[in-house]
A and B are shown apart, each in its own frame.
Chain A
């Protein structure tokens, strides 16, 4: 999709940069015309069967693009769902690449490699696998949803391979072992902290309720497994880790990311401003007729009201994604 190059847009932001000789001298659209880049998208080539008595669990490409057009989203990162715990059957990285190839202006392919892939061993040669998909155009790894502790040797093997190949890694976190899906960590994210230390060149994109609940102090299992509610009275593990480790990023997708901000708009503005280079817009639409995050409107309101600057808005909406994924 081409960027808006109207006079208004040029003057509002990009023009000054161009005249000053800045390397970012591409004219930019006005802030109210900025299109989002979705850091967290899913879709399938063919409709999947209904799950748990509900409807089609994931969009097909055309259904997701229709959502994007309605929500002002230019393009999205297509994450795989090859993890058995959160899916029906399997899903190949090749199918992600086929969808992205059919819609190159709307989708950016990621690959997903389960930490148990290639024989359920911490010695699996996942580096070769990741290099193959990197060479085919994938921009990152995710969504990693295996119900395995972050410090499990198989998970560590995957992280090491991702770091060597230069991929980012998007994870969904679960608050408890033996239930549902997502990588497992305790309250306060001690295992994540060890991973951030051990793999300093691996960029971790955190997502899900168990991750975003840590924007505030939260100790109950129910709290860790629900969208955040109420003001952020005391900062949680996310801020502590983001201040200490430059390789932790926030993926705002789904209700978990949206409500981590919407629970306390005043704090959200402060949070986005402090971590403006490491928070990324995402939407994680699954059911074609189901829940759609209110995040796009919320972020625009924060910007329109002056709670966050245009610069912060642009970074979170798309510029961080462009920089981190070298789009």
Chain B
């Protein structure tokens, strides 16, 4: 496994949480490692579940540190803070907490999935603190103002653009339906809320990547996979142009899904490499090299 891929967005728990509708939302560590072994993932970067909207219950940063301590050769930890943490204030002293977790080995903050506008002052405070602490922030950008999880940004991603401009020393590692929908011009309003499909006509995302070197795209979740597989030729051009700014990730997987089917993305990326649409260098950067460089792991 010495040169396997790196999952920049892993989610796992010590014990399975409550099932909803008969399904558990997240694997335990053993289940995730079994998946990694099957698809050739060397290491996962675990992002704690800190936001109320994501799951039946949340997860302590300390729990993730325990998982990492038990599997130091397979996992790296992020810490996570909800923008509402520490008394729901836009002046909350989050830098102290980030420093604490950085000293314990956490290499970033996130994934921030609170159902708040990305322009909310508490979200901006979290970005400001992370920038000051030189810790990258992972975030899920979502198209719904009300439902689901993820920071809301309307079509065109004006809030993300403002944040990239306002915090130039902060590395944003972004995923989510709205982020990946912006790989193309959206044809329908509801594409903003889900994994969009169909041929790509270049959208806002490429413009943001060209304008702001502090944006990194995280391929995890159904949105990242769909953004690549919807238009194979555009995916190859996108990955080649932004070869240093896109990182492979899986995101949350349920134990039921792990038993049933594998994520399609690794096989898809290997296919476009093998067919010559992307070079081996691009493939290696996306699957492994970018995560190592950006996170210093």
A binding-site residues for B, Cβ under 8 Å: 44-46, 48-53, 80, 82-95, 98, 111-114, 116-121, 124-126, 128-129, 132-133, 146-147, 178-181
Contacts and interface: CB of A to CB of B under 8 A. Distances in A.
Given A89-B81, A117-B52, A128-B18, A80 B100 contact: no
A87 B51 CA distance: 11
B82 interface: yes
Contact of B146 (A49, A114, A120, A146): A120
Contacts of B80: 89-90
Interface in B29-72: 48-53, 55-63, 65-66
Contacts of B280: none
Contact of B20 (A46, A111, A118): A118
Given A46-B62, A87-B85, A82 B148 contact: no
Contact of A132 (B19, B81, B84): B19
24 contacts: A45-B62, A51-B86, A51-B93, A82-B52, A84-B51, A85-B84, A89-B50, A89-B62, A89-B80, A90-B50, A92-B15, A92-B58, A92-B59, A94-B57, A98-B15, A114-B58, A118-B53, A119-B147, A120-B115, A121-B146, A121-B148, A147-B88, A180-B89, A181-B88
Interface string B239-253: 000000000000000
Contacts, number: 156
A286 B262 CA distance: 44
Contacts of A129: 18, 20, 56-57
Interface string B93-126: 1001100110000000000001100000000000
Given A53-B96, A90-B50, A146-B52, A85 B57 contact: no
Contact of B60 (A84, A95, A178): A95
Given A147-B88, A179-B89, 8 more contacts: A45-B62, A52-B86, A85-B85, A85-B88, A90-B60, A117-B55, A128-B18, A129-B20
A321 to B, nearest CB: 24
Given A45-B62, A94-B17, A118-B20, A84 B50 contact: yes
* Interface majority SS (helix, strand, loop, mixed), chain A: loop
Given A51-B86, A88-B81, A94 B50 contact: no
Given A50-B100, A88-B97, A128-B19, A94 B14 contact: yes
A117 B48 CA distance: 15
Interface of B is mostly: loop
Closest CB pairs A-B (n = 10):
A90-B58, A84-B82, A49-B100, A132-B18, A114-B52, A46-B62, A89-B61, A84-B84, A90-B50, A85-B88
Interface size class of B (residues with CB under 8 A): 35 or more
B63 A95 contact: yes
Interface of B: 13-15, 17-21, 48-53, 55-63, 65-66, 79-89, 93, 96-97, 100-101, 114-115, 146-149
Contacts of B60: 44-46, 89-92, 95
B193 to A, nearest CB: 12
B149 A48 contact: no
A111 B100 CA distance: 27
Nearest to A125: B20
Nearest to A89: B61
A85 B48 CA distance: 17
Nearest to A123: B147
A49 B85 contact: no
A105 to B, nearest CB: 22
B57 A111 contact: yes
A90 B64 CA distance: 11
A94 B13 contact: yes
